[in-house]
A and B are shown apart, each in its own frame.
Chain A
Amino acid sequence: MTADPAIDLRGVSKRYLTRGGEVEAVSSLSLAIRAGEFVAVIGPSGCGKSTLLKMVAGIETPTAGTITVEGGTPDQARRRRLFGVVFQDPVLLPWRTLEGNVSLPLEIVGSRRPERARSARELIELVGLAGFEASLPAQLSGGMKQRAAIARALILNPSILLLDEPFGALDEYTRNQLNLELLRIWSQSRVTALLITHSIQEAVLLADRVVVLTPRPARVAMEVDVTLPRPRQLAQLRTRECFELVGRVSAALYDRLEREAGRERGEPAAALAPGHLDSR
């Protein structure tokens, strides 16, 4: 591995043209992710977190700034099949069996299939779905579908895992269960992982580093190094160290809200960000 970051965003901005005019989703954001690092990005909903991930994946292009993924552009990385991606919805094709869904990427790559590709059965077993290979998505529970999505993301043996609120639609119990699974799978492969989430606890449990974004337009408000030892366990969520980390992330995340609430109560508004005097 080189010293160069696996994913490097420099001064990235993204503006959209909407009916109501131009909207700035991301504003001169810089972020470097080392190879093998697990980074969680957290921010208020609608702040442009997902846009960030889509730009890294090469699905959207930044309006300004550059993104480098393993020495090339996101588009090149995409063509080199460096990415494995899991969205909030499992996105399983309802007419395919579990195995058919997991092996979809293999079919798409076709004869250009990389040697490092893994077998669908092996991955289905890895995510704990052995025995369900022939099931249709409609017969699987929400958690099982999301496991299938993880297996599909891993089948081309990607070096970068992009996770866009992967367990956001699941209940808390299932979510924690899958988080542990994800940790186990990740620790075996040690790929670079970029997780978008809105759960502080999830971010702290999984990541080496938590990046807190500001409300729209997204900028890096704060970065918190997660010093919890690995391998991680749920029990660590109840340690003092973890409480402190959650507290720091939470303080960064709710900073503006708290200041605005303070202003409402008539407290000094010295630190107010300009342009937000009329918000609320």
Chain B
Amino acid sequence: MTHLPSFRHWARRVAAVLGVLVAWQVAAQLADGRARAVPPPTAILQTLAANWDLFVGDLQYTLLEAAAGFLIAVVIAVGLALVFIRSRPAELGLYNIAVAMHSIPFIAIVPILVIWLGNGYSPKIAVAVLASFFPILVNTTRGLRAVDEQTTHLLRVLDASWWQVLTKVRWPTALPYLLTAFKVGAPSAVLGATIGEWIGSQTGLGYRILSAMFNFDPDLLWATMVVSALAALAGFLLFDLLERLTVGRWVAEAR
């Protein structure tokens, strides 16, 4: 029943994007090479097809870093959220540290991470962790708390243990929040890994992007951007699908 409007919604959005692409193509053709920094979409597609092997190689590095970073972020964030709901003083004490960590411009600490962790995978994974950690922490904490007062009272009257409250009520309540956070966090991890590759790296999509920029190779830069966007989108879609398959049934009506 909710499928029809959402389909129209998407159709309209796809139409809008197609419209922009067509206008872009026409404009680029009319400019006829005077705006070299903005190649027509067809040229980007050609570059994409011609360099496919190159991109697949880059993707392997970037996705590995992103996935590792995302998993670490999830473990830390969920663990910390459980500590937060267990102990208010711990939350007050630790939350600001998390905010401070989140406020560090992560590009600024890439050099520091390189000093600490060397030039391999680790600093990129660390950036992916930093990029995806915070929304997961915030949403998980909020979700675990989203149990309303009367439900809490009901469970108190039933003398439910902390663990029972967690497994039977808090965790299912938090699941939709968690999946929403994952939908934000997974693309952020891809983004973080890519930005981590901007500096002190010879591999990955981020390296490809910056070297294309410094070599003024617009076609390659745009094509790599498309690949990273698709990688980030894949992260989003993965958890979007998971959400539809699990909590989608009751969450739409519960909100």
Q: Is chain B a partner of chain A in the same complex?
A: yes
Interface residues of A in 147-167 (CB under 8 A from B): 162
User: Among A85, A88, A94, which residue has its beta carbon within 8 angstroms of that of B157?
Assistant: A85
Q: How far is the CB of B83 from chain A (nearest CB, A)?
A: 24
Query: Once the chains bind, are A108 and B164 in contact (CB under 8 Å)?
Result: yes
- Surface stretch bound by A, among B95-103, B177-185, B192-200, B247-255: B247-255
Q: Is the CB of B157 within 8 A of A57?
A: yes
On chain A, the residues within 8 Å of B254 by CB distance are 94, 137-138
Closest approach, in angstroms, between the C-beta of A188 and any C-beta of chain B?
A: 22
Question: Quick one: which of A59, A89, A109 contacts B156, CB cutoff 8 A?
Answer: A59
Whether A81 lies near B158 (C-beta < 8 A) is: yes
> Known interface pairs A107-B168, A108-B168. Does A95 touch B247 (Cβ–Cβ under 8 Å)?
yes
Docked pose: A75 CA to B164 CA in angstroms: 18
Contact residue among B157, B164, B247, B253 (Cβ-Cβ distance under 8 Å from A78): B157
Cβ of B1 under 8 Å from chain A: no
- A104 in contact (CB, < 8 A): yes
- Cβ-defined contact, A105 with B172, below 8 A: no
* Complex-state Cα separation, A87 to B153, whole angstroms: 9
What total of A-B pairs shows CB separation below 8 Å? 61
> Across the interface, do B153 and A95 meet the contact criterion of CB distance under 8 Å?
no
| Category for how many chain A residues contact B | 20 to 34
Chain B hits for A59, CB < 8 A: 153, 156-157
Residues of B within 8 A of A91 (CB): 148, 150-151, 154
Q: CB within 8 Å of B: which residues of A? A: 54, 57-59, 78-79, 81, 83, 85, 87-89, 91, 93-95, 104-105, 107-109, 136-138, 162
Alpha-carbon distance A59/B153, docked complex (angstroms)? 7
How many Å from the CB of A38 to the closest CB on chain B?
19
Across the interface, do B253 and A138 meet the contact criterion of CB distance under 8 Å? Answer: yes
Chain B stretch 142-197: residues in CB contact (< 8 A) with chain A:
148, 150-151, 153-160, 164, 168-169, 172
Complex contact B160–A108 (CB within 8 A): yes
Instruction: Determine if A108 and B153 form an interchain contact, defined as CB atoms under 8 angstroms apart.
Output: no
B interface, over-half SS: helix
B250 to A94, Cβ gap below 8 A?
Answer: yes
Structural contact, B151 and A136, CB atoms closer than 8 A? no
* Contact assessment for B150 and A78 in the assembled complex, using a CB-CB cutoff below 8 Å: no
Which residues on A sit within 8 Å (CB–CB) of B155?
108
How distant is A114 from chain B, measured CB to nearest CB, in Å?
A: 12
Contact of A93 with B169 at beta-carbon distance under 8 Å, contacts A138-B250, A138-B254 already known: yes
Q: Find out whether the CB atom of A136 lies under 8 angstroms from the CB atom of B157.
A: no
Annotate B45-77 by CB proximity to A: 1 below 8 A, 0 otherwise.
000000000000000000000000000000000
Q: Are A95 and B156 in contact (CB under 8 A)?
A: no
| Distance A59 CA – B160 CA, assembled complex (angstroms) | 12
Are A104 and B153 touching (Cβ within 8 A)? no
10 more CB-based (< 8 A) A-B contacts, given A104-B168, A137-B250, A138-B250 = A57-B153, A78-B159, A85-B154, A87-B153, A87-B154, A89-B150, A94-B250, A105-B158, A108-B155, A138-B253
